[in-house]
């Protein structure tokens, strides 16, 4: 269609995409309260976040999840059946702790706290979604959300996520999520909101 950009069309991410995905998500999460808690130094945050997200992608979600990207956004989903495998293994944890430095204990506590609040029913989990702020308003994040939610809907399963940025809650609510509850991370960390979305049938979409 004339005038329609193809750059926000989701495509499956490959391991070769690790560097651009890391850069995109570093920009997307620069102002996220949880990421600022993990990476408090503004001078090194972008580099640290890039390594953090690249490592999560190459060692965890890229192997066991459903990862998609556009030219300015990325999303990591975990379908049922892969959730045990998508938990970071010992080597991944070592890499992440090396990246986080003295914030590593806070990271371990945050992972444990989030896991304790996770759902028990079969579901699709939205682990990460973010878009480069420079492309805001171009539909990159929305396209990735719709793509992943369509897969969950096709399976007839609910979707879960945790958000640490309150300004994002209305966006998720627009896509059908509702807030289940909130909890604060240990050690004086930020608040996370757990959210759930019921599966939709084609007639409901």
> Is residue 193 predicted with pLDDT exceeding 80?
yes
Q: Is residue 202 part of a domain?
A: no
CATH number at residue 88: 3.40.630.30
CA distance 199 to 193: 20
- Is pLDDT above 50 for 3? no
pLDDT of 24 > 70? The answer is yes
Does 189 have pLDDT greater than 50? Answer: yes
CA dist 113 and 115 (Å) reads 5
Give residue 34's domain range: 11-157
| 19 located within any domain | yes
Contacts of 165 (CB under 8 A, 6+ apart): 31, 32, 33
User: Is 179 inside a domain boundary?
Assistant: no
Give the count of domains, the chain: 1
**117 located within any domain:** yes
Confidence check: pLDDT of 116 > 80: no
Decide which of 155 and 187 is more confident: 155
Mean pLDDT of 94-116: 86
Mean pLDDT of 13-32: 97
CA gap 64, 100 in Å, rounded: 23
């Amino acid at each position: 269609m004339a005038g329609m950009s193809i750059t926000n069309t989701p495509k499956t991410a490959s391991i070769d995409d690790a560097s651009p995905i890391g850069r995109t998500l570093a920009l997307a999460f620069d102002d996220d309260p949880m990421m600022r808690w993990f990476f408090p130094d503004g001078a090194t945050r972008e580099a640290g976040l890039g390594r953090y997200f690249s490592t999560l992608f190459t060692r965890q979600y890229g192997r066991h999840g459903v990862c998609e990207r556009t030219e300015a956004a990325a999303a990591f989903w975990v379908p049922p059946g892969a959730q045990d495998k998508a938990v970071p293994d010992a080597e991944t944890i070592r890499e992440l702790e090396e990246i986080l430095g003295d914030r590593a204990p806070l990271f371990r506590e945050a992972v444990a706290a989030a896991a304790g609040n996770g759902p028990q029913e079969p579901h699709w989990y939205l682990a990460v979604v973010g878009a480069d702020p420079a492309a805001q308003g171009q539909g990159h994040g929305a396209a990735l959300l719709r793509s992943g939610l369509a897969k969950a809907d096709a399976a007839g399963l609910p979707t879960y996520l945790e958000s640490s940025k309150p300004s994002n809650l209305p966006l998720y609510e627009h896509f059908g999520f509702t807030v289940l509850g909130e909890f604060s991370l240990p050690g004086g960390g930020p608040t996370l909101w757990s959210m759930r979305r019921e599966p939709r049938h084609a007639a409901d979409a």
